[in-house]
Amino acid sequence: MFNFKKPRHKLHISDENDLRLSDLKPGEKGRIVEIGGSENFRHRLIEMGLTRDAEIWVDKYAPLRDPMELIVKGYHLSLRGMDAQKIAVERIA
């Protein structure tokens, strides 16, 4: 599904049909597949516990629709939609 051959570079999540964290609705749960974006951004998220295969739960969106509130590893975290779009997830029930 993803091109892992060049791990040092920004991941190009090229598949048009894949699911992003920003696509999940409040109450939906996903498992992290891959994080794109800048190195600093990826590493920051991983350090905050958004590791590959981590379960992530969309709790709600802010009153002005952005950012979103997530629950990961038992704590609440907020990300902007534009950043959540860089996170590929698979939906879990």
Element (H, E) at 76: strand 75-79
By CB under 8 A, the residues from 50 to 89 that bind another protein are: 51-52, 54, 59-67, 69, 73-80, 83
CA distance 62 to 17: 26
Which x/- pattern over 16-55 shows residues binding another protein (rule: CB under 8 A)?
---------------------xxxxxxxxxxxxx-xx-x-
Which whole-number Å values give the CA distances from 66 to 10, 25, 37, 47, 84, in the listed order?
24, 13, 19, 23, 11
Q: Least distance (Å) from another protein to the CB of residue 35?
A: 8
Q: Least distance (Å) from another protein to the CB of residue 88?
A: 14
